[in-house]
């Protein structure tokens, strides 16, 4: 480790103490960011930790919606996002309603008889098309979208969440792949939004055939944000932390890893006798990689990237998150 690297680490640890701060990092963060964090986990674990951790300040190393969830669950803490423009593109694929300028355009178009506006264009349109059907929002959504939804889910609990709802239909937003996975593993009819994660959706069946040929003794783990035809070929489909548990408890010695490559750090660190191969080397989330040790240090010094969800959104969004967290 270089001297400057070590110096930055020391400064972070000192400031963290002074600020009574806790650093939370997602499993996709850079290796050195994971190593400085107090807690590293998947979306569900990070939500639970944010809700229970005893501190004044949370420095969140992840993407925007994750820091929003921390703020929703812990309104009395100062929640800082290590990089303000670290966003999840999939979360941006659902809007609650049109922005005002688009609404004006919409009214204009609507008078033209040939124009049919897709009902699924906004969440409110979709809800109007399927009245009374509960909305399950993946945590990879904005706080405003959560506030407009009945319950949240993560990749770790989507099946349990969907099964917990009464009625035979559910709306799942925004990930069409996760929705198809839920449809396959529950008795519900799932009405899916047309969103996707660009990191996972790029995996195709040929990637699986190629990886299996190269590593015939390895078990293949895939994240449910991958396409259904990919998931059907996997040995185990689970969240990022689910992969860590699976690799630890399995007798197998080799694994092909079908998710963002940041998870490789913990997989290797926690399983020294085992070997891990990325399913594709380009499964890299650029937004997750925006955070560096310097971002963490800067935030601890300046405390500028405060994520605070307004009460009128926080309260209904918390209801949807709490409902999810109650499911064991
Ligand atoms: P996990 O819930 O498995 O941590 O995944 C979050 C995410 O953003 C996946 O792309
Ligand atoms: Fe969003 Fe995909 Fe990045 Fe996860 S990996 S934060 S879903 S873009």
Domain membership flag for residue 316: no
- Domain check: are 73 and 115 in the same one? no
Burial class (CB in 10 A: 0-12, 13-18, 19+), 27: buried
Q: How far apart are CA 156 and CA 171, in angstroms?
A: 18
Residues in CB range of 274: below 8 A, 6 or more apart = 247, 252, 253, 254, 255, 267
Residue 231's pLDDT is 98
Residues within 6 Å of ligand 2 by CB: 63, 88-90, 140, 197-199, 225, 260, 285, 287-288
- Domain check: are 192 and 103 in the same one? yes
Express each pLDDT in 157-195 by its tens digit: 999 999 999 999 999 999 999 999 999 999 999 999 989
**Residue (of 325, 326, 316) closest to 145 by Cα position:** 316
Residues in CB range of 64: below 8 A, 6 or more apart = 81, 84, 86, 87, 88, 91, 307
Domain membership flag for residue 323: no
Give the whole-number percent of the chain exceeding pLDDT 70. 93
Domain membership flag for residue 118: yes
Alpha carbon of residue 240 to chain centroid: 10
> Closest ligand 2 atom, CA of 260?
5
Confidence of residue 3 (pLDDT cuts 50, 70, 90): confident
Give the whole-number percent of the chain exceeding pLDDT 90. 85
> Closest ligand 1 atom, CA of 285?
10
Average pLDDT estimate for 239-264 = 97
State yes or no: pLDDT of 301 exceeds 80. Answer: yes
Express each pLDDT in 79-107 by its tens digit: 999 999 999 999 998 989 876 545 444 33
- Domain check: are 187 and 214 in the same one? no
Mutate to test the pocket of ligand 2, among 82, 288, 290, 291 (most ligand atoms within 8 A of CB): 288
- Domain check: are 50 and 126 in the same one? no
Express each pLDDT in 55-75 by its tens digit: 999 999 999 999 999 999 999
- Domain check: are 51 and 95 in the same one? no
Token reading at 49: 């930790």
State yes or no: pLDDT of 119 exceeds 50. Answer: no
Q: How far apart are CA 21 and CA 303, in angstroms?
A: 11
> Closest ligand 2 atom, CA of 63?
6
Q: How far apart are CA 328 and CA 320, in angstroms?
A: 15
Mutate to test the pocket of ligand 2, among 287, 290, 291 (most ligand atoms within 8 A of CB): 287
Domain membership flag for residue 64: yes
Question: What's the domain range around 235?
Answer: 203-278
Domain membership flag for residue 317: no
Q: Assign residue 20 the CATH number of its domain.
A: 3.40.50.10800
Q: What is the pLDDT of the chain when averaged over all its residues?
A: 91
Number of folded domains in the chain? 3
Confidence of residue 43 (pLDDT cuts 50, 70, 90): confident
Express each pLDDT in 193-226 by its tens digit: 989 999 999 999 999 999 999 999 999 999 999 9
Q: What is the DSSP string of 85-143?
A: T---TTGGG--SS--HHHHHHHHHHHTSTT----GGGSHHHHHHHSTTPPEEEESSS-H
C-alpha 229 to ligand 1 mean position (Å): 19
Confidence of residue 120 (pLDDT cuts 50, 70, 90): low
Q: Reduced to 3 states, what is the DSSP secondary structure of residue 248?
A: helix
Domain membership flag for residue 324: no
For ligand 1, atom 6, the nearest C-alpha belongs to 43
**Residue (of 95, 11, 7) closest to 298 by Cα position:** 11
- Domain check: are 11 and 81 in the same one? yes
């Amino acid at each position: 480790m270089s001297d400057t690297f070590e110096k930055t680490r020391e400064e972070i640890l000192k400031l963290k103490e002074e600020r009574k701060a806790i650093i939370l990092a997602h499993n996709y963060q850079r290796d050195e960011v994971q190593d400085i964090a107090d807690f590293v986990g998947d979306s569900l674990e990070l939500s639970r930790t944010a809700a229970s951790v005893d501190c004044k300040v949370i420095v969140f190393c992840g993407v925007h919606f994750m820091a929003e969830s921390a703020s929703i669950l812990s309104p009395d803490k100062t929640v800082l996002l290590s990089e303000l423009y670290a966003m999840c593109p999939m979360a941006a694929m659902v809007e609650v309603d049109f922005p005002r300028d688009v609404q004006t355009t919409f009214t204009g178009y609507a008078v033209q008889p040939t124009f049919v506006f897709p009902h699924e264009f906004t969440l409110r349109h979709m809800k109007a098309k399927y009245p009374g059907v509960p909305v399950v929002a993946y945590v990879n959504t904005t706080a405003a979208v959560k506030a407009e939804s009945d319950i949240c889910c993560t990749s770790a609990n989507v099946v349990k969440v969907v099964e917990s709802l009464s009625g035979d239909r559910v709306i799942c937003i925004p990930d069409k792949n996760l929705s198809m996975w839920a449809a396959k593993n529950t008795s519900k009819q799932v009405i899916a939004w047309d969103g996707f994660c660009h990191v996972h959706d790029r995996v195709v069946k040929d990637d699986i055939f190629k990886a299996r040929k190269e590593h015939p003794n390895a078990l293949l783990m895939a994240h449910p944000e991958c396409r259904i035809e990919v998931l059907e070929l996997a040995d185990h489909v689970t969240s990022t932390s689910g992969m860590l548990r699976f690799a630890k408890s399995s007798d197998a010695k080799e694994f092909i890893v079908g998710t963002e490559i940041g998870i490789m750090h913990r997989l290797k660190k926690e399983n020294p006798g085992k070997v891990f191969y990325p399913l594709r080397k380009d499964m890299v989330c650029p937004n997750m990689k925006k955070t560096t040790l310097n971002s963490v240090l800067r935030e601890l010094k300046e405390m500028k990237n405060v994520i605070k969800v307004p009460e009128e959104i926080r309260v209904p969004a918390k209801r949807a998150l709490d409902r999810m967290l109650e499911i064991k």
